């Protein structure tokens, strides 16, 4: 085992991405060997929505139904009312929020992986949302560490928090898709994104603005915006880190 916890996982797949020149790799991402072409990415994502909008929307529906169920269970366990959060403040609120964060992390990872798999032309269904509960502990720990570090960053003059908020954007798919631990996924994401931090920042600003535009268009625009932008995230991840690596050796 390597003494460098930030070293790229070694796998045959990392070095062999087939005939797709857009398929990245972990070593390539860490070296900054990828491009953030916002226009090209959105155009490709739009093209890939054909035949896949239903898959993304099924994932969204399942995600929200499961999230509501998790919130109800969390409120029952903590004794906190969903309609009146002040019913059991303090420790009850903390317990409820922690349950929701831990149980929802695999759902969020599943939603992300729908976009990633569509970007890689892999077979996927909306039930991918439920496919990653085997990673619930590393995903939840990754989320907790991410929120903690970003929070500290915002306390330290705000800019470090913004830097980390963008830098950690690929943490979840790295845990699920590359079998990384929470800290390694956070650092791999941060180191790779740092190579092109401003273009990635611009990419997600554009995504946020398109979400807002879809929402303002009487919500109708979201029918196309959500699948397109979900796949666009997946394309950026694919271009950075490439294909699935089930058991990388660290």
pLDDT per residue as tens digits for the range 115-161: 999 999 999 999 999 999 999 999 999 999 999 999 999 998 889 99
Q: With respect to residue 234, please indicate whether it lies within any of the assigned structural domains.
A: yes
Q: With respect to residue 136, please indicate whether it lies within any of the assigned structural domains.
A: yes
- pTM: predicted TM-score of the whole model, two decimal places: 0.84
d(CA 49, CA 2): 41
Q: With respect to residue 249, please indicate whether it lies within any of the assigned structural domains.
A: no
**Domain span including residue 104:** 28-241
CB-side exposure of 223: number of CA atoms within 13 Å? 6
pLDDT digits (tens, 9 = 90+) for 64-116: 999 999 989 888 887 766 555 555 556 767 888 888 899 999 999 999 999 99
Q: With respect to residue 250, please indicate whether it lies within any of the assigned structural domains.
A: no
DSSP code of residue 158: S
d(CA 155, CA 148): 11
Question: pLDDT exceeding 90 applies to what percent of the chain?
Answer: 68
Phi, psi of 10 (to 5 degrees): -95, 130
Q: With respect to residue 130, please indicate whether it lies within any of the assigned structural domains.
A: yes
Task: Calculate helix-pair angle for 53-78, 222-241, nearest 10 degrees.
Answer: 90
* Pick from 89, 93, 112, 110: nearest CA to 232: 112
Number of domains in the chain: 1
Q: With respect to residue 11, please indicate whether it lies within any of the assigned structural domains.
A: no
């Amino acid at each position: 085992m390597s003494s460098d916890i930030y070293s790229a996982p070694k796998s045959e797949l990392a070095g062999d991405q087939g005939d797709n020149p857009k398929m990245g790799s972990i070593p390539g991402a860490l070296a900054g060997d990828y491009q953030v072409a916002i226009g090209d990415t959105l155009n490709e994502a739009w093209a890939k929505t054909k035949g896949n909008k239903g898959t993304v929307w099924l994932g969204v529906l399942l995600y929200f139904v499961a999230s509501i169920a998790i919130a109800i269970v969390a409120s029952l366990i903590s004794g906190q009312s969903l309609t009146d959060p002040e019913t059991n403040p303090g420790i009850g609120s903390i317990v409820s929020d922690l349950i929701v964060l831990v149980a929802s992390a695999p759902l969020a990872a599943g939603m992300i992986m729908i976009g990633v798999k569509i970007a890689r032309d892999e077979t996927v269904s909306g039930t991918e949302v439920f496919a990653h509960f085997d990673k619930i502990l590393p995903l939840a720990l990754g989320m907790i560490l991410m929120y903690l570090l970003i929070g500290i960053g915002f306390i330290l003059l705000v800019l470090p928090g913004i830097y980390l908020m963008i830098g950690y954007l690929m943490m979840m798919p790295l845990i699920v898709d590359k079998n990384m631990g929470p800290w390694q996924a956070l650092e791999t994401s941060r180191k790779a994104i740092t190579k092109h931090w401003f273009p990635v920042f611009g990419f997600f600003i554009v995504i946020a603005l398109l979400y807002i535009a879809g929402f303002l268009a009487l919500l109708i625009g979201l029918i196309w915006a959500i699948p397109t932008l979900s796949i666009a995230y997946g394309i950026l991840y694919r271009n950075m880190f490439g294909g699935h690596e089930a058991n990388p050796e660290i």
